[in-house]
């Protein structure tokens, strides 16, 4: 079975996520492709989607302008395995506030039934790395790279908490959608990318 991984290529760590996805496919001995996604038509061509870190407001506005946001939401609700990283997690959330500014008013996909706080761990200068675990996925000792990271402040009963750091939720899963506050593509590990690709094979 060939699998096509799409990386939303509006802004953010696009190259890093594409490289991690290529490596994950190789490590799993799976035939597949990794493609940049910029248009609604390209979304229909992928089996797995990654929404990378970047400025979430910019990503939301740019995708909304081309109807990509609506098309992406339809595919995710239809069961397409999806990973939202940092700003990608923000885009997936149902409700978002900013630690400094309050309400954001930004476009959201609302596919994760969570409340989220932007810049929860501080600004760029407050970036850090720590070791996390995502035991529900069978992943332990995972390097978590936090850059202007959000945190999840509330979840519905339909949302599974995957990881907590400093008493704050930093990774969640609902149906086939995973969201992380941290950047797995910068960790040097492909475990989460491999798990995501594996979801498309089930």
Tens-level pLDDT at each residue, the chain (202 residues)? 799 999 998 777 899 999 999 999 999 999 999 999 988 889 999 999 999 987 655 566 566 656 778 899 999 999 999 999 999 999 999 999 876 555 556 778 999 999 999 888 876 666 899 999 999 999 999 999 999 899 999 999 999 999 999 999 999 999 999 999 999 999 999 999 999 999 998 7
Q: 179 and 93 in contact (C-beta within 8 Å)?
A: yes
User: What was the pLDDT predicted at 56?
Assistant: 57
Active-site residue (options: 55, 117, 183, 195)? 183
Q: Which residues contact 20 (CB under 8 A, 6 or more apart)?
A: 184, 185, 190, 193
User: What was the pLDDT predicted at 39?
Assistant: 84
User: What was the pLDDT predicted at 98?
Assistant: 77
CA-to-CA dists, residue 114 to 38, 53, 163, angstroms: 26, 18, 14
CA-to-CA dists, residue 81 to 26, 106, 174, angstroms: 19, 23, 10
* C-alpha span between 144 and 171 (Å, rounded): 10
- CA neighbor of 137 nearest in space, from 81, 79, 90: 81
Active-site residue (options: 16, 27, 86, 160)? 86
Angle ∠(199,134,180) on CA atoms, nearest 5: 75
Instruction: Identify the structural domains of the chain with CATH numbers, from first to last.
Output: 3-199 (3.40.50.880)
Active-site residue (options: 15, 16, 129, 185)? 185
User: What was the pLDDT predicted at 124?
Assistant: 60
Q: 181 and 146 in contact (C-beta within 8 Å)?
A: yes
User: What was the pLDDT predicted at 199?
Assistant: 96
Provide the whole-model pTM: 0.92
User: What was the pLDDT predicted at 183?
Assistant: 95
* C-alpha span between 191 and 183 (Å, rounded): 12
- Is 160 catalytic? The answer is no
- Is 86 catalytic? The answer is yes
Angle ∠(41,44,45) on CA atoms, nearest 5: 100
CB atoms within 10 A of CB 107: 18
CA Rg value for the chain: 15
User: What was the pLDDT predicted at 62?
Assistant: 62
């Amino acid at each position: 079975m060939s699998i096509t991984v799409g990386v939303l290529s509006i802004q953010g760590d696009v190259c890093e996520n594409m490289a991690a996805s290529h490596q994950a496919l190789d490590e799993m001995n799976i035939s597949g492709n990794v493609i940049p996604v910029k248009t609604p038509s390209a979304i229909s061509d992928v089996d797995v989607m990654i929404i990378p870190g970047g400025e979430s407001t910019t990503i939301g506005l740019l995708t909304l302008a081309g109807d990509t946001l609506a098309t992406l939401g339809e595919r995710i609700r239809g069961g397409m395995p999806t990973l939202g990283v940092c700003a990608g997690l923000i885009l997936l959330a149902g409700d978002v506030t900013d630690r400094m500014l309050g309400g954001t008013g930004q476009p959201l996909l609302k596919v994760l039934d969570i409340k989220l706080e932007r810049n929860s761990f501080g600004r760029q200068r407050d970036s850090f790395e720590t070791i996390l675990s995502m035991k529900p996925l069978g992943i332990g000792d995972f390097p978590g790279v936090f850059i202007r990271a959000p945190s999840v402040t509330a979840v519905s009963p339909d949302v599974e908490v995957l990881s907590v750091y400093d008493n704050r939720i930093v990774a969640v899963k609902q149906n086939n959608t995973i969201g992380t506050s941290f950047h797995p593509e910068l960790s040097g590990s492909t475990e989460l990318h491999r798990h995501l690709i594996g979801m498309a094979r089930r």
